[in-house]
A = this chain, B = another copy of it.
Amino acid sequence: MGKYLFKISTKLKDEIKDPQGQVVEKISKRLKISDEINVRVGKYYEIIIFASSLDEAKMMIKKVAENILSNPIVELYTILSFEEII
């Protein structure tokens, strides 16, 4: 059995309004950090999974991402990275 670490992000599709991001933009302006800032907020996952091969691990992660982590109607998920770990 191998042990694999996947880093995954989910975010709202570009055409969908992101109220959480707008809050960060407003506070950033109020704190005078930046006036010209655009923020989109999503979720971030670090998943360690045991599998007999990297291919099997990828298949499992795809199921997790599509069935549990994201709502395909409004969100996109991205596998940011993956690696075998000890």
Q: Are B44 and A39 in touch, CB under 8 angstroms?
A: no
Name the distance in Å between A34's Cβ and chain B's nearest Cβ.
5
**Contact residues of A: prevailing secondary structure:** strand
Q: Are B40 and A60 in touch, CB under 8 angstroms?
A: no
Q: Are A34 and B9 in touch, CB under 8 angstroms?
A: no
* Size of A's binding interface in residues, CB under 8 A: 34
Given contacts A38-B48, A42-B45, A44-B43, contact A63 B33 (CB under 8 A): yes
Q: Which residues of A contact B (CB under 8 A)?
A: 7, 9-11, 21, 24, 27-28, 31, 33-34, 36-51, 60, 63-64, 67-69, 80
Return the 9 tightest CB-CB contacts between A and B, nearest first.
A36-B50, A44-B44, A9-B44, A42-B44, A38-B48, A40-B46, A33-B63, A37-B49, A34-B60
